[in-house]
Amino acid sequence: MKKDFLTIRDMSPKELAKTLTLAADIKKHPKKYATSLKGKALAMIFEKPSLRTRVTFDVGIHQLGGFSVPLMPSEISLGKRESVHDVAKNLERMVQGIMIRTFAHQIVIDMAKHARVPVINALTDYSHPCQALADFLTIKEVKGKLKGLKLTYVGDGNNVAHSLMFAGARLGVNVTVACPEGYDPDPTAFRHAQEDAKETGARIEVVRDPMKGVEGADAIYTDVWASMGQEAETEKRKAIFKPYQVNAALMSRANKGAIFLHCLPAHRGDEVTDDVIDSKASVVFQEAENRLHAQKAVMLQLMK
Query: Which residues touch 150 (CB under 8 Å, ≥6 apart)?
Result: 173, 174, 175, 176, 216, 217, 218, 219, 255
Active site residue 291: yes
| Catalytic residue chosen out of the listed positions 58, 130, 156, 263 | 263
Cα 3 to Cα 301: distance, rounded to the nearest angstrom: 9
Catalytic residue among 135, 196, 223, 270: 223
156 catalytic, yes or no?
no
9 is a catalytic site residue:
no
**Strands annotated E in 83-180:** 97-101, 119-123, 150-154, 174-178
Based on the residue annotation, tell me whether 81 is a catalytic residue of this protein. no
Residue 184, Cβ neighbours under 10 Å: how many?
Answer: 16
Q: Given strand 174-178, what is the order of strands in its sheet?
A: 204-207, 174-178, 150-154, 219-222, 259-262
- Strands 97-101 and 67-71 come out as unpaired
| Catalytic option among 9, 52, 63, 101 | 101
| Residue of 9, 52, 105, 128 marked active site | 128
**Cα separation, 129 vs 136, whole angstroms:** 11
Q: Are 76 and 44 in contact (CB under 8 A)?
A: no
Q: How far apart are CA 48 and CA 11, in angstroms?
A: 25
**What distance lies between CA 23 and its chain's CA centroid?**
15
| 253 tagged catalytic | no
Please tell me which residue in 63, 131, 245, 295 is annotated as part of the active site: 131
Rg (CA), the chain: 19
CA angle, 56 then 59 then 65, to 5°:
135
Whether 262 sits among the annotated catalytic residues: the reply is no
Q: Which residues contact 155 (CB under 8 A, 6 or more apart)?
A: 161, 178, 179, 222, 223, 224, 225, 241, 244, 271
Show which residues are catalytic.
Answer: 101, 128, 131, 223, 263, 291
